Structure 1
C-alpha cells in the first residue's frame, strides 16, 4: 500500500473533529512537577509571575487561536508570495527610481530593526518557557518562530540591494557598532526583552510596543510604500505586520489576570514605563519618515494625525477597557506631538554624517507649506532654523551647516536632549537637563518621564554610558568629530549626506 492509500484510509476511518473539540486539550499541556518545585521551574527573575498563584494563571486565554498546521500553512503562503515578488522586483530598476527620501526610510529601517527582530525571538522564547500558563507558552512558541522569520527576511531583502546601495549592509552591521542611533535602539530593546521577565515582556513588548506602536507603524509604512511605488518593501512590511497582529495579543490576557488578582499598580507601572520609551523611539524613526522623508505627494496624513488617530483615539481606549489609567505623563506626551520629532529632525539632519542613511531635509517651499498646514506655527518656530540653514547653503557655506560639538544625550533613552523651537534650556517652562545623582554619578535626562523611569529602578540602568559619556571618559580617541565617526563605525563613504544634494535649498 503506498503513502497515498495509507492517508486515504486514515482519513476514512478517523473521526473528523472541529477545532473547538480538540484545540484547548492539545494546547493546555500542563503537568505536575515531581522532582522540582514550581518556584524552581519558574524562577521569579525569568517568569515574573509569582504575584499570582499558579491556578490563577489557568484563566489565561489567547484572543487569536491557531494550530501548528494552520500556522505553517499561513507562513508558507506568505513567504512564497513575498519572496516571489522580491525576485521579480529585484530584476527591475524600481529601487533606482525611488524618491531619495524614501530610500533613506528603507536604510534607516533595516539598520535599526533587523537585528532587534532576531533578538525579539529571545524574548518570545522566554515567554514560551517561563510563562505560567500552557496556553501562553503555546502562543509564545509561535511568536518566537515569527520573530526568527522577521529577522531572516529583513536581513535577506537588503542583501539584494547591495549592488545598488552598499549601505544596505547596515541591516547586519549596525548592531555591531556603537553608532548613537544603535546605542539608543539597543538600550531600549535590552530593557524591553533581553533583560526582562515573561510577565513584564507580555505587557511591555506585546501589549505596549507591538499593539500600541509597531503594528501601527507597519500598517502606515506598508501603505506609504505602496503609494511611493516600493512594492518590495510594502510586501515585506505587510507580511511582517500580519504576524505581529497575532502574537502581540499575548499582553491582553496577561494584563487581565494581573488586574483580576489585584495587581493593577504593577501592571500600570510596566505599561507607563514602556509606553514612554516606545514613544521616544517611534518619534525618531517614524516621525521623521512620515513628515520629512516620504515624498510629499505620497503623504496620507501627518505623523501627529497618525498618532492621534491610531494611538490616542484607538489604543488608548484599551486603557479604559481594561480598567487601566492613562499614563501620568499623558499631557506631556500629547504636547510633544507638535514639536518633538521636528526638533529631532533638525538634529539628525545637522549631524547627518553620524547616521548611515541620507537625511532628507524636507524643507522645500511646498513641503514647508504642508508642514505649516499640519502644524500651525511651524514656520515661525522650526522654519526659522531652516531659514538660516538655507541662507548658508545659498551662500555656498556648507560648512556652517555642520555641528561643532556633540549634543547632550539623555541617560535613559540615549537620544539627544532637545527643546521646543524658541525655548531656551533653563527657561521657566523648559528647565535645564534634569539631573539625578546615583552612587556618586550624575545622570541627566531629556524629560520627567525618562528621569522617572530611571529613578524608579536605578539599578537596572545605572552604569551605562551615553555617546557623550564615552567621549568625556576617553573611550573615544581622538576626542573630535573624526574620532567619533570612526568610533561609530562610519567610513567616509557610509556617512550620511543630504538626500537631495541640497536641491531643496536652491532658489
Structure 2
C-alpha cells in the first residue's frame, strides 16, 4: 500500500462498517447517542469528507507543525518580549488561554463520541483525527502560558479557569457543554464542526493571529496559526453530515441545531475576540475592527456556506448583525467595571484617539456607549476612581450567563426579556436566548447564574469578599485591575482633547 497512490486505497481503508451478528444495530449504535433522526446506514456510508488524510500523513504533518511552533517559542524564550509587552496585550493572552486551553481538551470528548457512535465510517475516521487535534491544542495551549506564570500569576488561570466558579468561566462552560458535551454524535457535529468551527473559529484564530503578529508576538501568532490549520480540516466534518440530513428530510432539525449553536458561541466569542480587537490592541497595531472581521468571515463566507448546503440564514440574522454592533461594546464596559472579578486585567483604553477610531468603525458609538465612558472618565479625573468599579453582580441572562445589557445613551435599548416557567422567573438578554430556552426548558431550567447563587444561599455570606472568593479571585490570583492603571484617562488633559468627539457635543 505505501507504494500506491492514496486514492487507490483510501476508501477501502476507512470504510469499516459491517453487519453485526451478535447484537442488534441499535445496541451497537444506540439512537440517543448515534442518530436520533433515523437516517439509514446506507445513507451514512455516503459520507465523503472534503479533507482526506491518512494516519501516516497526519502524523508527519502534525510533527512539522509542532516542530515549527515549539522551535519559535524556544528561539524567542530568552527575549524580554513578554516582560516589556503592552499590559493590555498580555490580558488578551490571559483571557485566551484561560478560556480556550481546557475547552480544547473538552472537545476531545466530543470527537470521541463521534468516533465511537457515528454510523458513518468516514466520519469516525475524521473524528479520530479531530480528537488527536484537540488533544494537541489543549496540551500546547497549556504548555505555552506555563512559562509566563512566573511573570504574572494570572497566567495560571490557563489551568484553573474551567475548574473555577468564576462567572466568565461559567458562561463559557454553559455554552460549550450545551454544544459539545450533551448531544448525540450527529447533532454535536452540526453544532461543533459546522456552526462553531466553520462559522466562528476563523474569527478567533485568524484575527488574533494577525493582531499578535502586528504586536511582534510571533510565538503566539505561530501557535494560533498552527492550531487554525487543524481546525480548517476537522471543522469540515459537519458539512457532509448536513448534506446527508438535508437529503433525508431532516433540514428543519439541522437548521435548528445550527441556529442554536451559532448564537450560543457567537455570544461568547464576541467577548473573547471582539473586546481585545477593538479596545486592547494599541491603535496603530490593529489589523481590522471586529465588525470588519465578522462581515467578511461570517456575513459573507458563512452565509454562503449555509445557502450552498440548502439551509437558510438563522431566523435572527438581523438581530445577529445588530449584535455585532452592540454586544462586545456592552461587555467591554461590563468586564471593565467588574474587573476585580476577572482573571485578566482589562483596560478602558478609550482616549480621544481611540474614541475617534470607534466612532469611525461604529457610527453612533459616542452617543451610546461613549456616554457611559464619559461618566467613568469624569469620576476618575475628579479623583474618584473607586466610582468606576461596580459593586455586587449585574443581572445575568439565564441562557448565555452574560450580563444583560444593550445600547444606552441617546438610544436606550437595554431591557430584560422574561419568562415564568414552573413557578420560576427567568430573565434573558435577547429574544434569541429566550427562544433557545423555550425550545427545551428541561435542558436549562435548573441552572443557576452567578447572581442566582448569591441569593439562593450558595454563596454565603452574601458579601463582596465572599463572592470574589467563591469565584477564585484572590485565591488563584488577585482579581483584575485596569491594565494601564488608568493612564489612558490622562490623554484628556492634553491641550485640545475633549471627552466627547461627536460634532456639536
TM-score interval w.r.t. the shorter chain?
over 0.9
For 2:357 and 2:122, the matched residues in 1 are separated by 49
Aligned counterpart in structure 1 of residue 59 of structure 2, from 52, 55, 72: 72
**Partner SS for 1:17:** coil
For 1:374 and 1:93, the matched residues in 2 are separated by 34
* CA deviation profile, 1:232-282 (whole Å, cap 9, x unmatched): 111111111011000000010000000011110000000011111111011
1:497 is matched with which residue?
A: 481
For 1:306 and 1:362, the matched residues in 2 are separated by 21
Is 1:263 aligned with 2:250?
A: yes
Normalised to the residue count of structure 2, the TM-score between the two structures is 0.95
For 2:136 and 2:20, the matched residues in 1 are separated by 33
Is 1:358 aligned with 2:345?
A: yes
How far apart are 1:47 and its partner, in Å?
A: 1.3
**Partner SS for 1:442:** strand
How far apart are 1:477 and its partner, in Å?
A: 1.7
1:39-54 equivalences under 5 Å are 39-54=26-41
For 2:2 and 2:167, the matched residues in 1 are separated by 60
For 1:33 and 1:315, the matched residues in 2 are separated by 39
1:469 is matched with which residue?
A: 452
* CA deviation profile, 1:363-403 (whole Å, cap 9, x unmatched): 01111111111111211221121111111111210111111
Is the contact between residue 37 and residue 250 of structure 2 (CA under 8 Å) also seen in structure 1?
A: no
For 1:118 and 1:224, the matched residues in 2 are separated by 25
For structure 1, which runs of at least 5 residues remain unmatched after alignment?
1-13
How far apart are 1:441 and its partner, in Å?
A: 1.6
1:109 is matched with which residue?
A: 96
Aligned counterpart in structure 1 of residue 226 of structure 2, from 232, 239, 256: 239
How far apart are 1:480 and its partner, in Å?
A: 2.0
Is 1:458 aligned with 2:441?
A: yes
For 2:393 and 2:14, the matched residues in 1 are separated by 53
**Partner SS for 1:437:** strand
For 1:336 and 1:47, the matched residues in 2 are separated by 34
For 1:15 and 1:213, the matched residues in 2 are separated by 37
**Partner SS for 1:290:** helix
For 1:329 and 1:383, the matched residues in 2 are separated by 27
For 1:30 and 1:386, the matched residues in 2 are separated by 61
* CA deviation profile, 1:331-359 (whole Å, cap 9, x unmatched): 11111222221111111100000111000
Deviates more, 1:59-68 or 1:84-93: 84-93
Instruction: Identify if the C-alpha distance between structure 1 residues 335 and 34 changes in structure 2 by more than 3 Å, giving closer, same or farther.
Output: same
Is 1:482 aligned with 2:469?
A: no
* CA deviation profile, 1:458-493 (whole Å, cap 9, x unmatched): 111110100000001011122122111111011075
For 1:464 and 1:298, the matched residues in 2 are separated by 41
Deviates more, 1:403-412 or 1:350-359: 403-412
Aligned counterpart in structure 1 of residue 144 of structure 2, from 157, 160, 168: 157
1:412 is matched with which residue?
A: 399
Is the contact between residue 98 and residue 229 of structure 1 (CA under 8 Å) also seen in structure 2?
A: no
Is the contact between residue 49 and residue 132 of structure 1 (CA under 8 Å) also seen in structure 2?
A: no
Is 1:210 aligned with 2:200?
A: no
**Partner SS for 2:346:** coil
Is 1:331 aligned with 2:314?
A: no
**Partner SS for 1:339:** helix
Is the contact between residue 396 and residue 402 of structure 2 (CA under 8 Å) also seen in structure 1?
A: yes
Is the contact between residue 292 and residue 360 of structure 1 (CA under 8 Å) also seen in structure 2?
A: yes
Deviates more, 1:335-344 or 1:250-259: 335-344
2:167 is matched with which residue?
A: 180
**Partner SS for 2:418:** strand
How far apart are 1:405 and its partner, in Å?
A: 3.0
1:7 is matched with which residue?
A: none
For 1:355 and 1:305, the matched residues in 2 are separated by 27
1:91-170 equivalences under 5 Å are 91-170=78-157
For 2:239 and 2:391, the matched residues in 1 are separated by 48
How far apart are 1:360 and its partner, in Å?
A: 1.4
**Partner SS for 2:427:** strand
1:8 is matched with which residue?
A: none
Is the contact between residue 99 and residue 161 of structure 2 (CA under 8 Å) also seen in structure 1?
A: yes
For 1:273 and 1:291, the matched residues in 2 are separated by 26
Is the contact between residue 371 and residue 409 of structure 2 (CA under 8 Å) also seen in structure 1?
A: no
Is 1:397 aligned with 2:384?
A: yes
2:431 is matched with which residue?
A: 448
Q: 4+ runs of 1 displaced by more than 3 Å?
A: none
**Partner SS for 2:91:** helix
For 1:24 and 1:264, the matched residues in 2 are separated by 27
**Equivalent pairs, count:** 490
